[in-house]
Amino acid sequence: MGTKVNIETSTNDFWNTKRLVRMALFVALGTVGGFIPLPSPTGTVGLDSAPGYFLALFAGGFEGGIVLGIGHLVSGIKAGFSLGPIHLPIAIGMAVCGWLLWYVNQKFNLIAAGIVATLFNGVILNALLIPLLGVGFFMGMTPVLLVASAINIVIAIVVYRFLDNR
C-alpha cells in the first residue's frame, strides 16, 4: 500500500479556490449518486455519500465531512425534506462520519475506519434521533442505514485503494 495522502494545510489556507472547487465537484458527484436511491422510508438514502467518504480519505476529514454534510442536505431537498429541520443535525452527523472515517484510517487502518464509520452512521447517529423521531424510526431505519453506509463506504474505500496503488 502506498503512503497516505493528506493535503490538509493550515486553517489560513483551507478555504482556497482549489479546495472549494474540489468540494463543489464532490458535492455534485454526491448529488448524482443521490439519484441512485436505496429503498428507505425517508427517500433520502442512496449512493450520495460515497464521494464524500472518498474525499475524507483522500483530502482529509474536514473536507470530506463538509461534502458529506452538504450532500445530505441536497439529498434531503431532493426528497422534499421528508424529516423537516431534523435534516440539519443529520447533516452535521454525516460530517462527523466523514471525519471519523479519516481519523480511524489515520490511527489504525481502512477496515477499522470503514467499520467505525458504518456503525456510527447506521446505529449511533440514528440512535441520537430517538428523542426526536422515536424508537420505531430507529428500528425501521437501522438496517437500511447500515446497508447503505456499508455500500457507500466500500465504494469510497475501493476507489481510494485503487488510486492509492497507482
pLDDT above 80 for 47:
yes
pLDDT over 90, % of the chain:
72
pLDDT above 90 for 45:
no
pLDDT above 80 for 11:
no
Q: Give the domain range for residue 72.
A: 11-165
Q: Is residue 28 part of a domain?
A: yes
Q: Can you give the pTM of this predicted structure? A: 0.88
Give the per-residue pLDDT at 83.
84
Q: What is the 3-state secondary structure (H, E, C) of the chain?
A: CCCCCCCCCCHHHHCCHHHHHHHHHHHHHHHHHHCCECCCCCCCCECCCHHHHHHHHHHCHHHHHHHHHHHHHHHHHHCCCCCHHHHHHHHHHHHHHHHHHHHHHHHCCHHHHHHHHHHHHHHHHHHCCHHHHHHHHHHHHHHHHHHHHHHHHHHHHHHHHHHHHC
Q: Is residue 3 part of a domain?
A: no
CATH number at residue 153: 1.10.1760.20
Q: How many domains are there within the chain?
A: 1
Q: Is residue 1 part of a domain?
A: no
Q: Is residue 6 part of a domain?
A: no
∠ Cα 58 151 65 (to 5°): 40
Question: Which pLDDT tens digit goes with each residue over 87-145?
Answer: 999 999 999 999 999 999 999 999 999 999 999 999 999 999 999 999 999 999 999 99
